[in-house]
Amino acid sequence: MARIPHYLRRMKLGGINPQPQITTTLLGPAAARIDGDHGMGQLVMDRAARLAVQLAKEAGAGWVAVANSSHCGALAYYGLKIADAGMIGLVFTHVDPMVVPYGARNAFCGTNPICITAPRAQSGAQNAETGALCLDMATSKAPWNAVMNASRERVPIPANWAVDADGEETTDPNDVAAMLPAGEHKGSGLGVMIDVLCALLSGAPFGPDIPKMYSKDLSQNRLLGGLVGAIDIGRFVPLEDFHARVAEIIIRLGSLPPREPGGKVLFPGEPELLTRQRILQEGVPLGLRTIEELNRTAADLGLERLMDLTPAGTQGPHLRPAPIRVQSSVSK
C-alpha cells in the first residue's frame, strides 16, 4: 500500500506503462521469454508464473525469462500460484544497486530476492490457506521497503542493516546509502547469481546499470528482468506422496525443542501466515504518514480518502471503509 503513490506517479510521468502490450516468445518446449512492455511488474510476473505452469504441464518443467518489467512486489504471490498448481515454484527478480557486496564499500546489486515454494495437501493442514511451504527472502539483511517505511515514520533501524555514504553502519534510515548482504559473503554471492539469472537470460541490464526505482526522473523505465520456474512434481513422484512428506517435514520441524522458552520452530512461510491471520482479525497496520500520503493521493485523483485522522487526545482514527490498524513505528 505504501508503494501505491509511487506507482501512480510513475504512470503519470511515463515510467510505468498503464496499458502494456505484454508479448510472449516460446523458445522451446520448456522455455519462453516475456516482454512486459514496461507495465506494472505485478501484471508481468503473474503472466510469467501462469506461463511457467503451462509449460511445466506439457514438458515437466517450465522456465520463463522476463524483460522490460518494473517493481513487482513480494515474490511469494507468484510462487504460491505455482504451488497451487501442484508444482514447485522458483521465482527471482532483481532491482537497482542498493546492497554492498561482501568486502566492498559501494553498492553493486540490488536486494535481489529469491522465492521457492512447495505444495502440500490442504486438508487439515496448519498452512491450509496456502497449502504450501514458502521461502521468500531478500539477499540483503532486510528488504529496502523496511528502510523506506522507517524513514517515512521517522524511526531508527537496527545497527547491522545498512551503511551510510562513507560505508559505516547507521541506524538513521535517512542516511542509508546501501544495505548489507544477508550472511555476509553468502548473501552477497546469491545476489550476484540472481542478477545473472534475471539479466543475462533476458537481456536486461544488471547491477549498477539498472535504473533506480526512486530516481529523480520517474519517467525512465525500470528495464527489470526476472526468471520464473515451475517443476511438475508428478513427473518425479506421486503428488500425494510429496504432500505427505512435506507435511512430515513441517510436523518434525514444529516438534523440535525451541531455543527460547515458550517458543516454536516455524516452517518457511508460517510467520507470514500467522501475520496474515492476525491482520484479517485486527486490520492492516499502516503508519500515520503512509495514511497521510494515501489521503493526499486520493484527493489529487478525486477519490474518497482512505480514513480521517482525528487530533491527538480524541477517540482516535475514524476507520473507513475497511479495518486499518494505525501504528506509529515500523514493524520488524
pLDDT digit string, tens, across residues 61-90: 999 999 999 999 999 999 999 999 999 999
**pLDDT of 25 strictly over 70:** yes
> In this predicted structure, what is the pLDDT of residue 149?
86
Rounded to whole angstroms, how far apart are CA atoms 65 and 226?
6
The percentage of residues in the chain with a pLDDT greater than 70, rounded to a whole number, is 90
* Residue 311 confidence (pLDDT): 52
Sheet strands (E) in 131-190: 132-137, 162-163, 169-170, 178-179
**Percent of the chain at pLDDT exceeding 90:** 80
**Cell representation of residue 209:** 546499470
Highest mean pLDDT among 49-63, 149-163, 306-320: 49-63
Amino acid letter for position 274: L
Domains detected in the chain: 4-140+181-241 (3.30.1370.60)
Radius of gyration of the chain, Cα coordinates, nearest whole angstrom: 21
Question: DSSP class of residue 119?
Answer: E
Nearest to 31 by CA among 63, 77, 7, 67: 63
Flag the least confident range among 39-48, 106-115, 205-214, 279-288. 279-288
Note if the bond before 20 is cis, omega within 30 degrees: no
Please name which of 136, 117, 109 lies closest in space to residue 199, comparing C-alpha atoms: 109
Provide CB contacts within 8 A for 23, sequence distance 6+: 34, 35, 37
pLDDT at 314: 41
Rounded Cα distance between 143 and 330, Å, is 13
At 307 the pLDDT is 77
Q: Quick one: which H or E segment has residue 65? A: strand 61-69
pLDDT band of residue 145 (cuts 50, 70, 90) is confident
DSSP H/E element including 34: strand 31-35
> pTM for the complete prediction?
0.89
**Band of the pLDDT at 310, cuts 50, 70, 90?**
low
> How confident is residue 152, by pLDDT bands cut at 50, 70 and 90?
confident
Q: Take residue 66 and report the three cell numbers written for it.
A: 522476463
- Under the banding of pLDDT at 50, 70 and 90, the label for residue 4 is very high
The confidence band for 315, taking pLDDT boundaries of 50, 70 and 90, is: very low
